[in-house]
Structure 1
């Protein structure tokens, strides 16, 4: 009977671990994938590296940002986008 109790405890700990770690991570990944799929030309974005710019072209895996007063163009992987800035409210939509 003692072995059954320790097996049950181990299964319970694994279930709690799954609920605490994997489910929130999957939700975060889905939300981030939706953010990347909803990118549009003229969206203001903040990259993971801290560069803020406006999207001027979207390709399959890359985007082209225009940033700064000199209108410098940067080719960036879509996965480098950290945040999309909502121009109407000047608030950031987090990638979480």
Structure 2
């Protein structure tokens, strides 16, 4: 019983760290992957660097977006927001 009580604070600390740091991060990563998988050609998007555009082509890891000044090839992970659904809700 003495050894268990010595390790109990470390065990509790690990449990707290898991539920407040590791688990939310895993959920966030899963949501980002689902978001990237749900993108489709024609969606209006905003990149993490602030470019607004429309998806013209999609591959497994990249996307080509049309902007007012031309086309840009970016990584799918660089897309931060999809506007098509938000714009359709307002209309």
**TM-score scaled by structure 1?**
0.83
Give the Å deviation of 1:61. Answer: 1.1
Counterparts of 1:84 and 1:2 in 2: how far apart (Å)?
56
Give the Å deviation of 1:31. Answer: 0.7
Does residue 1:58 correspond to 2:58, yes or no?
Answer: yes
Structure-2 residue corresponding to 1:47: 47
Q: Deviations over 1:31-77 (max 9, x none)?
A: 11000001111101111111111001111211000112x4x100001
Does residue 1:37 correspond to 2:37, yes or no?
Answer: yes
User: Which structure 2 segments of 5+ residues have no match?
Assistant: none
Moved over 4 A (4+): none
